[in-house]
Amino acid sequence: LIKKEWLRKHREVLPSVAVLVCDFDVDVGLTEWNTQEKAILDTVKSMRENLDCENRSAMSMMLVLIQKRDYPKEMEVPKKSEISNDRIAGLRRSLPFDPKNVVLIYTADFMTSEADGSIKVNSALSHMMLRMQQKIDELSEEYYRIEGKRFRGYLKQLDRFKVGGIAMNIRLNFKIGQFYEARRSTKALKHYEDSYDAIIEMAQRRHEQDVADDQSGA
């Protein structure tokens, strides 16, 4: 009734949010930057096309740009910051997803040295990473909301036109339950129960049919 590949696909293969990490170098000239920009856009396009997704438009993407620096982002030379902002703005205009999902991180911001010589995670980066995680969670929630809504639409058509039979009812309710579960919603329980109740009903019908067949053949 439920193909195991469907479960593996949505639990292990198909992402709700795809995060692409690319090098970014503000020091290169315009010609080389144009080449880098094209490579990034080509990679994004290829990633979207290669993902086996029935509803690719629902999937979100995030681009994380890494600038190699031995000093933090706030210490960047104003002219360099201006160039970075211009190039990232141009990149955002060309990307097929929300421009807010483009983030620039400096390597020096990953760690910071203490007076005693120890190394610890930069608090500013920790805050940025927390906000990124929250954003990814929000995008993932939206993806599963859209997918669940799409399958609920199929279920409504099934109920309205009385087509598809009990097997389709089992599949749709189970899949809707999966999408609700991915959102940590208790609504998943209702659809799982509806699916399992339909399985029991199907088994009872088959049993009754088998008994009727045996009696008619006796």
Put the strands of the sheet holding 60-67 in their side by side order.
17-24, 60-67, 102-106
pTM of the model: 0.77
Residue with tokens 């020091």: 27
CB atoms within 10 A of CB 98: 13
Quote the CA–CA distance of 124 and 101 in Å, as a whole number: 18
Tokens for 156, please give them: 């409504």
pLDDT at 208: 74
pLDDT at 3: 85
Blockwise average pLDDT, block size 10, the chain, 218 residues: 86 89 93 95 88 70 92 89 95 92 86 54 68 90 94 88 81 95 95 93 79 64
Quote the CA–CA distance of 202 and 109 in Å, as a whole number: 59
